[in-house]
Structure 1
Amino acid sequence: MSLDKDKVFGEFDYIVVGAGSAGCVLANRLTEDPQVSVLLLEAGGRDWNPWIHIPVGYFKTMHNPSTDWCYVTDPDQGIDGRQLQWPRGKVLGGSSSLNGLLYIRGQHQDYDGWAAMGNEGWSYEEVLPYFKKSECQSRGADAYHGVDGPLKVSDLRLRREIADRFVKAAQQIGIPANPDVNGETQEGVSYFQQTAYKGLRCSSAKAFLRPALKRPNLTLLTRAHTRRILLEGKQATGIEFEHKGKRLQAKARHEIVLSAGAIGSPQILQCSGVGEPEHLKSVGVDCLHPLPGVGENLQDHLQIRLVFKTSCKTLNDEVNNPLKKLGVGIQYAFSRTGPLTLAASQVCIFTQSRDGLDRPDIQFHMQPLSADKPGEGVHPFSAFTASVCQLRPHSRGTIKIRSADPHEYPSIQANYLSAEEDLRVAVNAIKVARRIAEADALKPVILDEHVPGRQYQTDEQLLDAARRFSQTIYHPTSTCKMGSDEMAVVDSRLRVHGIKGLRVADASIMPLIVSGNTNAPSIMIGEKCADMIKQDRVHD
């Protein structure tokens, strides 16, 4: 496919690449000014699949190539040589259209830590207004929550006995109840809140993009695959992309913002000749701007899955019974309640893996069901899942393109459990999970530990279990990290070091992964980036 120079698509003030969690926010906020024109490019399609909008639909949209990029990691020695599937949204809304809907911001100390690293403007006090700006909190406004934003955040519309027992068991081993883990402190046990409204998913596309599409100054192209950033010296001037079988160019009068995610953003930079020179040379790409940190510093939350068989009825029983399954569908159709409103988990716990820590370093996701993988169906017996992850892993991985072809998936080296501290936390996390299972509220109804199984007892055996029975929670971050050191990719205003007119705004800019789920922070990053762009334009 060659570029037809007569097929220049147009010129815009701003071009946003990626209509995901942050990209949809940028498209909305930038077009609030009717004098500003924005082109939003999305490689995926429209969010017309009905399963996107039904909360439990992630069982249908993950691993579905029409909505999911279906990335797969390289074989990883840290997890017994396994390869993990990494779902990423390939649709309007990005991963907010197929994630588990869980609304978690992270810890105050995460953002204060970013600021302490030299990233001015990113302390918790400074990012909190952006969390509040985006939020429409069903519980009402307070010092930590807003009600005027487009992103609906609500309590779960499903409760089950086994989840209630799990909450009580956590308290019985000393974990405090905390009704708002996004408030004054994160530590404790709570029911998750979710990005949903009246039983329907509230993706970033629904919250931010849909209202903005009514504006004449926003142009959206779906099925538009970005090939590279156009550079003239050290100035980003436009985007080359493919659309409907043609290779086109779009020009940016002011700025380009990459919001393609922790995999897509470094891939686009590398395909554009921005990255580590020797790596680019090895895959046949001319290095136009050396920036060795592109694709480095990859971080993800690795969850260790424990599955317990139980005498309590769980969602496994409802899904496996044809009559009950029919009833579930009828209940949802008429009241938007019941199991089809299920977020990825019901109960969250933030706690310490060992004594002596000053803040939580592990998180639990408790589901009143069990399955080997999303989309493969639940187990044919009553069971629940208690997954636990390390919140701030020390292990680091990489995203590296394999060739100059922008359609070829990059190499994903997660390097899970490659740091000594991560091994210790993994072993201790399993021990905490078992302490919860042994508490009075749960022990009488637990029949067996199905995964990993009680045969794993010593620390060495527990580490082996962590390697064998762990999965990603789908939180890749930090591959275009913010900072001022030699491995930083963007500065504190998210501008790519050494290139004018180019920013990155998505989870890839996190210098350190947040302590929790990453969707709400990604939306915050979009909000803050849009504000900084507006501020910088006024001062130009």
Structure 2
Amino acid sequence: MSTALPSQVDYVIVGGGSAGCVLAARLSEDPSVQVALLEAGPPDTSVLIHCPAGLALLAKNGQANWGFETEPQPGLGGRRGYQPRGKVLGGSSSVNAMIYARGHASDYDAWAAAGNPGWSFAELLPWFRKAERNERGADAFHGGDGPLNVMDLRSPNRFSKVFVEAGRQAGYPENHDFNGAEQEGVGLYQVTHRDGERFSAAKAYLAPNRARPNLHVVTGAHATRVLLEDKRATGVAYRIVGASQELRARREVILSAGALLSPQLLMLSGIGPAEHLREHGIAVAHDLPGVGRNLHDHVDVVQVWDAPHLTDLFGLSFTGAVNVVKGIAEWRRQRSGMLTTNFAEAGGFIRSSPEEAIPDLQLHFVIGKLVDHGRKTVFGHGYSCHVCLLRPRSRGSLTLRSADPLAPPRIDPHFLADADDVRRLVRGFRVMRHILEQPALAGLRGRELAASAGARDDAQIEAFIRSHADTIYHPVGTCRMGTDAGAVVDPQLRVHGIAGLRVVDASVMPSIVGGNTNAPVIMIGEKAADLVKAAARGGRESVHAGGEALAV
């Protein structure tokens, strides 16, 4: 990566997360263009990032994490939710649980049906495959030679397979590929690992291309606004080491700062709901009411079981400490063993009732006792299980706290505001408990913690959910794609009413996908790179995943 940053480049990308890394790598494939990537966080050098199990400590110490909080949520009993987002090269792909899941094909078909041509699952599958290097090999659903390494867990904990057996005993099919022909079932997740290490978007896309003289990556650079001239984006203002700088873009500015920060940056630049901007003394460059609207997320609740005698589960004890010391030695020596875990090794996609046509719930089985996102110290050994609602109806918003670009935004996902969300999650809690009480797990003689064990009828379960539920880290939708008056970007991800400006990240999703969001965001980055290249060639063009333009 070049370190000499010119005053002007062809493309300025804001945000070195999953989509930003893809864009930087793909756009800089053309040696005739200059590409700059601005990332507010540090380089991805911490061993806690590269060692998969390090994510447990990343949650505790806040390293490489924006660590946002929501506004008090009435649906959660007035509690503030936790909103961790990656603040480091690789973004949230450098701090997440590394699960590779795409969602259901019908999620993308719904995007296309809502007025976004080119975004159906059949049309997007080539970009998923282009990104992926699956160690199982290529097939109709998977790529075999893409940048992003996807693999089965190297050293799965034996209890993850016990969970899968419990799911089978509860009547769910075992699914060896959640990203294949069928999503429904229980099984072990595939992960973005390689050779026993995390394989983030930074590792997949930036690291192999750091020697390109036309790729400029700047860390510690906090973007403060998009520079505009006559409703055209011409560059980005940013702060680095306390000093204000500007970087000009000859062709395009691309915001890839995520669903919480891309809309904030638009509003700080005068692009957004006019009345809201004026409230904060920001001159209105373009009234775009949809900016920051449509915020939604996978709301999730965890059931925790105590099993002090099962010391090969993760836990705080003398034996647990000895196991970790041995695990550190093994990981350093041969990149195998217990520290290659992503903790949420197993799970599934299931229906909350037989009447559901497709899975509306996702399970994540965790090989340790998880309380408060892992931030609370819990002694002893045990296991946990998440259930999250895949397609919540509740919608919230992202607004400015102030005109200060360094102030965090106001995040209000409006969790559990819709009664249907509550009903489904109550059913999901019952389904999860039914699985955890099957003979395979019941035989382990674990004990459900009192906080949830007393919740038996629907009213008690709802009360437990409202007092314990929170995000499972998938905020989307705040720069929604579409062609209607409430949309922020068009199907080419160009900001309505502003030339030379795109948004490429989870914020553009019209509706959340039924699964983890990292793989879809990487796919969005791949497709967007080809859209940008096609635009540079001129004319009205469509693209396919080979990167070639097709005249329309």
The answer, yes or no, to whether TM exceeds 0.5 is: yes
Gaps of 5+ in 2: 540-552
Rounded to whole Å, the distance in 2 between the matches of 1:222 and 1:366 is 35
- Tell me the alpha carbon deviations over residues 425-459 of structure 1, each in whole angstroms, 9 at most, x when there is no partner: 11101110111122222222243211643311111
Rounded to whole Å, the distance in 1 between the matches of 2:37 and 2:104 is 32
Q: Tell me whether 1:276 sits opposite 2:273 in the alignment.
A: yes
Rounded to whole Å, the distance in 2 between the matches of 1:510 and 1:33 is 28
Q: Tell me whether 1:291 sits opposite 2:288 in the alignment.
A: yes
Offset, 1:150 = 1.1
Give the TM-score normalised by structure 1. Answer: 0.96
Rounded to whole Å, the distance in 1 between the matches of 2:64 and 2:493 is 28
- In structure 2, what is the equivalent of residue 316 of structure 1? 314
Rounded to whole Å, the distance in 2 between the matches of 1:456 and 1:373 is 19
Question: Is the 1:299–1:513 Cα contact (8 Å) retained in structure 2?
Answer: yes
- In structure 2, what is the equivalent of residue 372 of structure 1? 371
- In structure 2, what is the equivalent of residue 410 of structure 1? 409
Rounded to whole Å, the distance in 2 between the matches of 1:247 and 1:290 is 26
Which deviates more, 426-435 or 328-337? 328-337
**Shift in CA distance, 338/385, structure 1 to aligned 2, threshold 3 Å:** same
Offset, 1:344 = 3.8
Equivalent position SS for 2:250 = strand
Q: Tell me whether 1:132 sits opposite 2:129 in the alignment.
A: yes
Offset, 1:313 = 3.9
- Tell me the alpha carbon deviations over residues 124-144 of structure 1, each in whole angstroms, 9 at most, x when there is no partner: 011111111111101011101
Question: Is the 1:79–1:468 Cα contact (8 Å) retained in structure 2?
Answer: yes
Equivalent position SS for 2:443 = helix
- In structure 2, what is the equivalent of residue 83 of structure 1? 80
The code of the aligned residue for 1:23 comes to G
Offset, 1:318 = 7.5
- In structure 2, what is the equivalent of residue 240 of structure 1? 237
**Shift in CA distance, 451/124, structure 1 to aligned 2, threshold 3 Å:** farther
The code of the aligned residue for 1:180 comes to D
- Tell me the alpha carbon deviations over residues 492-520 of structure 1, each in whole angstroms, 9 at most, x when there is no partner: 00000011100000000000001011100
Which deviates more, 310-319 or 72-81? 310-319
Q: 1:24 aligns with which of 21, 27, 34?
A: 21
- In structure 1, what is the equivalent of residue 487 of structure 2? 488
Rounded to whole Å, the distance in 2 between the matches of 1:502 and 1:509 is 13
Q: 1:509-528 counterparts in 2 under 5 A?
A: 509-528=508-527
Which deviates more, 236-245 or 34-43? 236-245
Equivalent position SS for 1:297 = strand
- In structure 1, what is the equivalent of residue 203 of structure 2? 206
Which deviates more, 321-330 or 107-116? 321-330
Rounded to whole Å, the distance in 2 between the matches of 1:365 and 1:65 is 22
The code of the aligned residue for 1:315 comes to L
Offset, 1:332 = 1.5
Question: Is the 1:166–1:442 Cα contact (8 Å) retained in structure 2?
Answer: yes
Which deviates more, 494-503 or 364-373? 364-373
- In structure 1, what is the equivalent of residue 459 of structure 2? 460
Offset, 1:484 = 1.2
Offset, 1:319 = 6.1
The code of the aligned residue for 2:534 comes to Q
Please provide the CA RMSD for this pair.
1.6
- In structure 2, what is the equivalent of residue 117 of structure 1? 114
**Shift in CA distance, 287/446, structure 1 to aligned 2, threshold 3 Å:** farther
Rounded to whole Å, the distance in 1 between the matches of 2:469 and 2:200 is 27
- In structure 1, what is the equivalent of residue 428 of structure 2? 429
The code of the aligned residue for 2:169 comes to Q
**Shift in CA distance, 444/300, structure 1 to aligned 2, threshold 3 Å:** same
The code of the aligned residue for 2:487 comes to A
Q: Tell me whether 1:218 sits opposite 2:215 in the alignment.
A: yes
**Shift in CA distance, 309/61, structure 1 to aligned 2, threshold 3 Å:** closer
Q: 2:89 aligns with which of 88, 92, 96?
A: 92
Offset, 1:320 = 4.5
- In structure 2, what is the equivalent of residue 531 of structure 1? 530
Equivalent position SS for 1:228 = strand
Rounded to whole Å, the distance in 1 between the matches of 2:178 and 2:405 is 40
Offset, 1:378 = 5.8
Equivalent position SS for 1:26 = helix
Q: Tell me whether 1:37 sits opposite 2:31 in the alignment.
A: no
The code of the aligned residue for 2:223 comes to T
**Shift in CA distance, 38/282, structure 1 to aligned 2, threshold 3 Å:** same
- In structure 1, what is the equivalent of residue 52 of structure 2? 55
Q: 2:259 aligns with which of 240, 248, 262?
A: 262
Offset, 1:206 = 0.7
Equivalent position SS for 1:364 = strand
Question: Is the 1:161–1:312 Cα contact (8 Å) retained in structure 2?
Answer: no
The code of the aligned residue for 1:184 comes to A
Aligned-pair identity in percent equals 45
Offset, 1:334 = 1.9
The code of the aligned residue for 1:276 comes to P
- In structure 2, what is the equivalent of residue 3 of structure 1? none
Offset, 1:9 = 5.5
Question: Is the 1:9–1:249 Cα contact (8 Å) retained in structure 2?
Answer: no
Which deviates more, 372-381 or 112-121? 372-381
Equivalent position SS for 2:446 = strand
Equivalent position SS for 1:387 = strand
Offset, 1:525 = 0.5
Rounded to whole Å, the distance in 2 between the matches of 1:150 and 1:441 is 38
Rounded to whole Å, the distance in 2 between the matches of 1:61 and 1:204 is 17
Rounded to whole Å, the distance in 2 between the matches of 1:394 and 1:317 is 36
Rounded to whole Å, the distance in 1 between the matches of 2:167 and 2:451 is 20
Give the TM-score normalised by structure 2. Answer: 0.94
Which deviates more, 313-322 or 20-29? 313-322
Gaps of 5+ in 1: 1-7
The code of the aligned residue for 1:436 comes to I
Q: Tell me whether 1:184 sits opposite 2:181 in the alignment.
A: yes
- In structure 1, what is the equivalent of residue 543 of structure 2? none
**Shift in CA distance, 451/517, structure 1 to aligned 2, threshold 3 Å:** farther
Offset, 1:232 = 1.0
- In structure 2, what is the equivalent of residue 355 of structure 1? 354
Q: 1:155 aligns with which of 152, 155, 177?
A: 152
Equivalent position SS for 2:533 = helix
- Tell me the alpha carbon deviations over residues 23-55 of structure 1, each in whole angstroms, 9 at most, x when there is no partner: 000000001011111111111111111111010
Rounded to whole Å, the distance in 2 between the matches of 1:481 and 1:288 is 19
Offset, 1:196 = 0.6
Equivalent position SS for 2:512 = coil
Question: Is the 1:293–1:488 Cα contact (8 Å) retained in structure 2?
Answer: yes
- In structure 2, what is the equivalent of residue 4 of structure 1? none
Rounded to whole Å, the distance in 1 between the matches of 2:317 and 2:229 is 57
Offset, 1:67 = 1.0
The code of the aligned residue for 1:413 comes to D
Offset, 1:226 = 0.7
- In structure 2, what is the equivalent of residue 508 of structure 1? 507
- Tell me the alpha carbon deviations over residues 450-486 of structure 1, each in whole angstroms, 9 at most, x when there is no partner: 1643311111111111111213111111110101121
Question: Is the 2:305–2:384 Cα contact (8 Å) retained in structure 1?
Answer: yes
Equivalent position SS for 2:398 = strand
Question: Is the 2:343–2:368 Cα contact (8 Å) retained in structure 1?
Answer: no
Equivalent position SS for 2:326 = helix
- In structure 1, what is the equivalent of residue 139 of structure 2? 142
Offset, 1:286 = 1.3
- Tell me the alpha carbon deviations over residues 175-217 of structure 1, each in whole angstroms, 9 at most, x when there is no partner: 1111000111111111011101011010111110112221111
The code of the aligned residue for 2:387 comes to V
Question: Is the 2:262–2:503 Cα contact (8 Å) retained in structure 1?
Answer: yes
Question: Is the 1:316–1:380 Cα contact (8 Å) retained in structure 2?
Answer: no
